[in-house]
Amino acid sequence: MRAPVTAPTLGIIAINDVYALTHLPRVASLVAHHRARTRADRWLVVLAGDFVAPSVLSSLDGGHRMVGCLNALGVTHVILGNHEDDVPVSELQARVREFQGCWLGTNVHGFAPPLSRHDVVEVGGKRVGLVGVVMNDPNVYHRAPFGGVRLEDPNEVVVREAARLRSASGCDTVIALTHQWVKDDRALAQTGVVPLIIGGHEHDPHLEHVAGAVITKSGMDATHAAIVTLTLTEPPSVHVEHESTASYPLDPRLQQLVDEADAFIERLAGGVLVSRLPGPLSSQGSRVRQTTMGTFVTSTLRDALGVDGALFNGGGLRGSEAHTDVLTLGDLQNELPFDNEVVVAVMPGRLVREAVAYSRRHAPGTGHGGFLQVDDRARVGDDGHTLTHFAGAPLDDDRGYRVAVPRGHLLGLDRIEPFERFAREQPDAVPAAGSGRSPRLILLEALVRARLANAGSFEALDQDQDGRLTRAELTRALTEQGAPPSETTVSLVLDTLDANHDRVLTRDEVHADDEP
């Protein structure tokens, strides 16, 4: 009697939305464990978008160390997430070149270097096609995404490419990596073209069976991983479990890379972002009154994002000292410890006025964490809460203003009732989750670019006219602004802008994508 034939099996370990390196050493051990103990004819390790940015580290190195860790981990396939657009295009292009696996971009047209339209892997005599798509919702991008590429509808592309892979490439099945809302993944599952959707974008875990397909998202920062077994029967059989990475030991090689990245950030903490402050900056009392730090933060957010004005909650400013001379990276991290996503919303002047007044209703008594700080082109009346001017002119109740504001306020953070009412009555006017960025990261990049811009034009700084700013030229430029800069400060400026990590700055790197 013949033994039954066992169908080939593809094993996949999937993570998504990884903004910190912290848990990757444990993922490495998890991968090694399952390779050794879970039967599969072949293993893949995939990441469904959002890993190049955003974090303090990525603002300094453009995701260079993250990609290095993914290479060491043996990640085989990645896709774009919407936050890959947070770094300058030159940085993203460098990361694509550095990644040693397959970077899928099935619905991305016009990116250079080109992303892979698909991949086909052989598994025990069977062929499995992989496609990868990123959301084309303009509400989650703060500019034309990825340097102005064309993004096709993700689900339509998956349906078309899956059919082509089966007919032209002889694939027995096709699986999709997606970075989009789970509701769109459910719609894709309903088409019946793929048995497995490995997704990203939501930061909470999802594991669902929809119309015969399995949708999995393991949550953010690799605290959990999806362990997938795809048995290549007809039709394919999919089994998925989500497993915590916490119980796995730290892989020594990955941990060394993480320690080096942590040391890199620590080393730059003393780097000077602003060498000559316009006056003392302090956030003390920001729950009860307008502060100089509140004005500085909101004005910098406004200018960096190219909007009419900015609002920021006083409770989000936590510095304990007055800055009278310089502002360092460490100071910025202390002042803005929270990653409250700042978005750009269009709202009528009436709403801005009402929200500011409502947020300040407890001052100067008990104070309130939601006390809205305003920028230097806004003016508040003598009563301390009535906004009279905005965007450098008398406030127009009926005008639609583009306002930078923590997204959480529009959804109930600090219970600012006019914002809550606005979200209830006009939900479509609330920017999508993931469309903004951490205020700390926005300020870091803006202040570094401003410091270099204050030193002069690129042509003036490039003394030998070779099209590159060396460390010596950069030091000379920063020295001419005042006292000689520390090595830490020069490194901070260089590492924030050096997309190619060749220790020099080109004109494109100095001016890359700094439009709002």
* Same-domain status, 253 and 277: no
The total of structural domains in the chain comes to 3
Q: Which of 400, 415, 440 is the last residue of a domain?
A: 440
- String of DSSP letters for 113-159: SPPBS-EEEEETTEEEEEEEEE---GGG-SSSGGGT-EE--HHHHHH
* Residue 513 in this model has a pLDDT that exceeds 60: no
Cα-based torsion angle of the residue sequence 47, 48, 53, 57 in order, rounded to the nearest 10 degrees:
-20
Can you point out the beta strands (E) in 265-353? 272-274, 309-313, 327-328, 342-348
* Same-domain status, 367 and 299: yes
Containing structural domain, residue 191: 9-265
Query: Which amino acid appears at position 485 of this protein?
Result: P
Digit-coded pLDDT (tens) for 489-507: 888 888 888 877 888 888 8
Digit-coded pLDDT (tens) for 36-55: 999 999 999 999 999 998 88
Asked which of 113-117, 186-190, 442-446 is least confident by mean pLDDT, the reply is: 442-446
Give me the pLDDT at residue 361, please: 87
**Does the residue 448 lie in any domain?**
no
CATH of the domain at 179: 3.60.21.10
* Same-domain status, 62 and 24: yes
DSSP, collapsed to helix, strand or coil, labels residue 56 as helix
Span 166-195, average pLDDT: 97
**Does the residue 516 lie in any domain?**
no
**Does the residue 1 lie in any domain?**
no
Count of beta carbons in the 10 Å neighbourhood of residue 266: 10
Digit-coded pLDDT (tens) for 250-275: 999 999 999 999 999 988 889 989 98
**Does the residue 227 lie in any domain?**
yes
CA 331 to chain centre: 22
Give me the pLDDT at residue 156, please: 98
Give the CA angle between residues 357, 341, 396 to the nearest 5°: 35
